[in-house]
Amino acid sequence: MPIYEYVCEACRHEFDLLRPMTQADEPAPCDSCGSRESKRKLSLCNAQSGGKSIAGTSAPSCSGCAGGSCASCGH
């Protein structure tokens, strides 16, 4: 399971969460204030792709943006 980084919109707390790729874009509960107004950070995109083959994708991609909507990864 990949690790995703989130930032809480309510208190700006940043936290990591280990979760399935299918849940990557779902709001994660802030472990500081409990708010679910969090957004996934995209900064881990490139780091996540190193070395591992990702099921279902043939193009160079990252596990953090299976949907292809990640502008910061360039795909």
Q: Which residues bind Zn ion (CB under 5 A)?
A: 8, 10-11, 13, 30, 32-33, 35
Q: Least CB distance from residue 61 to Zn ion, whole Å?
A: 30
CA atoms within 13 A on the CB side of 67: 10
Nearer to Zn ion, 34 or 60 (CB): 34
Q: Least CB distance from residue 25 to Zn ion, whole Å?
A: 18
73 is written with which tokens?
A: 């990864």
Measure the CA–CA gap between 11 and 71, rounded to whole angstroms.
25
Nearer to Zn ion, 30 or 45 (CB): 30
- Sheet with 14-18: list strands edge to edge: 14-18, 3-8, 38-40
Q: Least CB distance from residue 13 to Zn ion, whole Å?
A: 4
Nearer to Zn ion, 34 or 68 (CB): 34
* In contact, 63 and 2? CB cutoff 8 Å: yes
